[in-house]
A and B are shown apart, each in its own frame.
Chain A
Amino acid sequence: MDTLFSIATVEAGIRLGLPVALAALGAIINERSGVLNLGLEGMMLSGALGGYIVNDATGSPWIGLLAGLLVGALTGGVFAGLVVTFRTSQVVTGIAFTIVAIAATTYLFQLRWDIGELPPRVERLGMWPLVALTLVCVAGVWFLFRRTTLGLTISAVGESPESADALGYNVVLIRWMATIAGGALAGLGGAVLVNGPLGLFIEEVTAGRGWVALALVVFAGWRPVPAVAGAFLFGLCDAAQLRLQGTATEVPYEVFLALPYVVTLIALVVRARRSHTPAALGDPYVRGAS
């Protein structure tokens, strides 16, 4: 157990928490505007592959991160087109979107690198620049919702699109922008995962982290700072699990494998009653329908 409580575990926890934190921030922007983004996992995965391919081609992890951001924004745009403009069911579209993204990234990856061929390790970024990047994003999202009119407008659209529309705000446009911004952050999260200390893309590399991020948003009551704290907690569990896997201990390592999900489940139960769920979350907006 000595190895469990060490600086290295905490460091690994931070490292593993960063992508989840970024994706959770993206989900907050989405959901505050009333768009439930169950495609988050798929957007993260798309950003991860985009970031990996561009980094591999250019040799620069920073350009890789930028590519992840752009790919994420693009997927966000496609999602917005479906759920905001075509008003498809957000739950079904989100799940379908993730399924497509998993299949598409695996396909592109298999097309590029044959089975058996070892995909190259790309240039990696250290942990601290990524921590700085994440902190900038947290501060940005916090500032957006606490200090700007735009943030207030986004929240208004998520709480009562009818009222926002009556006040002259363009609900469709704002939801489009929020969905694209959320997708961009999720894509960045995926790129951070791949261009960070890992330096490698494998099939389904995000391994459900996008879903965890979605759950964290509920846990955090749609506020950015608690969401990032939750992401760090998830990272710690993940790190503990990885550390215990090789060693024989009294506590099976699978407990730590399940722990983040158990914690999320408990948080879901404790939080749900007094949560600050955006009132119009999941509802497509049809002008003059109600």
Chain B
Amino acid sequence: MTDSDTRQPAPSVTPSPKSTWPPKLDGWLDAVARRATAEGILSSILVPLVSALAALVVGGVLIAIDGVNPLSVYGAILQGVFTKSRGFSYTATVATPLVLIGVGYALAYRARVFTIGGEGQYLVGAVAGTAVVTAGGVGDLPRVVLIVVGLGAAIVAGALWGGLAGVLANRFGASIVISTLMLSFIGDSLLQWAVRDGIRDPDSYNANSRPISAAALPSFFGQKTHLGFLFALVLVPIAWWLIRRHRWGFRIDARGHNPGTLNANEFSSARVTLSVLVVAGGLAGLAGMVETTGVNVRLGQEASVGYGWDAIIVALIGRLHPLGVLVAGLGMAGLTIGFESAQRQFELPSSLVSLITAFVIIFVVWGDAIAARWKESR
């Protein structure tokens, strides 16, 4: 823990010299090296990178078995993302919910709070936000107010859904993995009921809400990328700052390493559990509303597309680091978008892309174990 060093000034016999600029190079290098080894450069960058490459190789073999040249498929994927005019815009759009939910997961997993309830919180957030902005009589409100109120309602709903799991864990010792999972299924039932009956558009034949057009998020440069992507971009440095510089982030990491330490210092680790679940839930709820108002026109039965599950992979591949989550989220979104056009061109099964990302995560898990053994043996 390099952070704890910087927070508590070391007792020094001699008065510390005034800070000079530029700092002495060897001291600075030493600090960089210490920080890198504390985080483990091997496991933080090398393992996910090698895992991603290995998964692409496995995917290539599968494509080759299907009788297609894998290099031309991967070429088409790159082309789809980088040269097509809309490629990056779509990638950013898909990455938005992945990063928003993924950063929440990353914070929770740092505290060793294993929530997998992002999907339910996403849906509950979407339902609550949509219910507010499509309610009768709010249509006259200015667009900005409507957007803020809708997103706020979604954050609150997601936070409550996540916080419920925290309360159940703290008060009754219920397993967070199982309870967040059950809450995800219940959230899906809630969505089904809401669009079929609760907030259904009475004029629509299909089961969906009224259009949310009045609360639609503005998009950039006439492209598909919407304001939500900016939220994701802003969230990353905030989360980074929280982890590195804020007391809360320090407590999260402390709980992750040894919850007993917190309790011994008269700070309840249960409070960390609850707060981290509330924050992760709020972010997932925000993602749900951002997706509804930024991409879709209405909330429908098909709103559950699995961003809450995919974000688990994104958080793990991103090494529970906000910047890593952003990179992993963009990578996964790029693969998905690029593959969409390549798949039609080469007539490949549409599930291949999820198989490749799934292999990345298995390789990361495996690679971590190998790296740990390698460290032990030295």
Residues of A at under 8 Å CB distance from B? 38, 82, 86-89, 91-93, 95-97, 99-100, 102-104, 106-107, 110-111, 115, 203, 208, 211, 214-215, 218, 252, 254-255, 257-258, 261-262, 264-265, 268-270, 272-273
Contact = CB atoms under 8 A, between A and B. Distances in A.
A268 B196 contact: no
B351 interface: yes
A256 to B, nearest CB: 9
Contacts of B28: none
Given A100-B362, A111-B66, A214-B178, A261 B369 contact: no
A116 to B, nearest CB: 13
Interface in B160-175: 168, 172-175
Given A96-B365, A107-B355, A203-B351, 19 more contacts: A38-B177, A82-B365, A86-B373, A88-B369, A100-B362, A103-B357, A107-B62, A110-B350, A110-B351, A214-B178, A254-B196, A261-B189, A265-B174, A265-B179, A268-B168, A268-B179, A269-B172, A272-B172, A272-B174
A87 B375 CA distance: 14
A234 to B, nearest CB: 12
Contacts of B190: 254, 258
Nearest to B165: A265
B192 A257 contact: yes
B178 A215 contact: yes
Given A258-B190, A261-B182, A265-B182, A273 B362 contact: no
Interface residues of B, number: 45
Given A257-B192, A269-B172, A88 B312 contact: no
Contacts of B295: none
A99 B62 CA distance: 18
B172 A88 contact: no
A272 B175 contact: yes
Q: Specify which of B62, B182, B368, B373 lies most central, judged by the most chain A CB atoms within 10 Å of its CB.
A: B182
Nearest to A36: B177
Given A103-B358, A215-B182, A86 B369 contact: yes
A218 B181 CA distance: 14
Interface in B74-110: none
Nearest to B363: A96
Contacts of B365: 82, 88-89, 92-93, 96
Contacts of A264: 178, 182
A107 B351 contact: yes
A258 B369 CA distance: 38
B267 interface: no
A23 B216 CA distance: 45
Nearest to B62: A107
B157 interface: no
A272 B178 CA distance: 12
Contacts of A255: 189, 193
A258 B361 CA distance: 30
A268 B354 contact: no
B33 interface: no
Contacts of A218: 175, 178
Nearest to A268: B174
A89 B316 CA distance: 12
18 contacts: A38-B177, A86-B369, A88-B369, A89-B365, A95-B116, A96-B361, A99-B309, A99-B361, A107-B349, A107-B352, A110-B351, A211-B178, A218-B178, A258-B189, A261-B185, A264-B178, A269-B168, A272-B172
B257 to A, nearest CB: 14
Interface string B319-363: 000000000000000000000000000000111101101110110
Contacts of B3: none
A286 B374 CA distance: 15
B114 interface: yes
B370 interface: yes
Contacts of B369: 82, 86-88
Contacts of B193: 252, 254-255
Top 10 A-B residue pairs of the complex, sorted by shortest distance between their CB atoms: A258-B189, A110-B349, A254-B193, A86-B369, A106-B351, A103-B355, A100-B358, A103-B358, A103-B354, A272-B173
Contacts of A107: 62, 349, 351-352, 354-355
B238 interface: no
Contact of B189 (A111, A215, A257): A257
Given A88-B365, A107-B349, A96 B174 contact: no
Contacts of B39: none
Contacts of A273: 172-173
Contact of B177 (A88, A91, A261, A272): A91
A265 B197 CA distance: 25
A86 B174 contact: no
A162 B185 CA distance: 38
B128 interface: no
Given A99-B358, A218-B178, A254-B193, A86 B366 contact: yes
